[in-house]
Amino acid sequence: MYKTKIDLSEKTRRNVIAILNDRLADAIDLQSQVKQAHWNVKGPNFIALHELFDKISDLVLEQIDTIAERVTSLGGTAEGTVVETLTYMNGKEVNNLKLTFVGGKLTSMTGSGPGFEDLKKEYDARGDGKELFGFVDFGINPNLHVWPAKTV
């Protein structure tokens, strides 16, 4: 760990760095899944969905950069290579994730896979503050970007 002028104990910084690197892996995985969807859109809503996924990918990339920079500002090393991301994600895969948003707040989630139960527990523990959960906390509100797909 590098020296920093951040006024937090080394233990606290190490803990926060570990959490941020976990979120960095999540964000990199999310961005790659969104880009995969972008590349593989077919059908009558092609252009609207293609553009939607591209916008969301760009938003997630901005947040990946923010998370990585926060890690380094705390004296850590941002672990964002594909191999490092896979290491963090190993055993935490979430499949068929469906998020429901109402009024910009995450209101429900369903899914499967080894990591879904942990994700669901974290979500349930948030109580009424679910708008702070996961990538919504990055400032990404998918509802703001869906309107072109809904109008086609």
pLDDT over 70, % of the chain: 68
Residue 77: pLDDT above 90? yes
Classify residue 115 by its DSSP letter: T
CATH number, position 24: 1.20.1260.10
The total of structural domains in the chain comes to: 1
Note whether residue 126 is domain-resident. yes
18, 77 contact by CB (below 8 A): no
Beta strands in 23-151 (DSSP E): 95-102, 105-112
pLDDT at residue 133, as a whole number = 44
- Domain that residue 37 falls in: 10-151
How far apart CA 109 and CA 124 sit, in angstroms, is 10
Mean pLDDT of 17-21: 89
Q: Which residues contact 2 (CB under 8 A, 6 or more apart)?
A: 72, 75, 76
Residues 6+ apart with CB under 8 A from 143: 101, 104
Q: How many CB atoms lie within 10 A of CB 76?
A: 20
pLDDT at position 135 over 90: no
Q: Is residue 69 part of a domain?
A: yes
131 lies in a domain? yes
Q: What pTM was estimated for this model as a whole? A: 0.63
Tokens of 18: 């570990």
Q: How confident is the model at residue 127 (pLDDT cuts 50, 70, 90)?
A: low
Q: Considering the domain boundaries, does residue 1 fall inside one?
A: no
In this prediction, residue 71 has a pLDDT band, given cuts at 50, 70 and 90, of very high
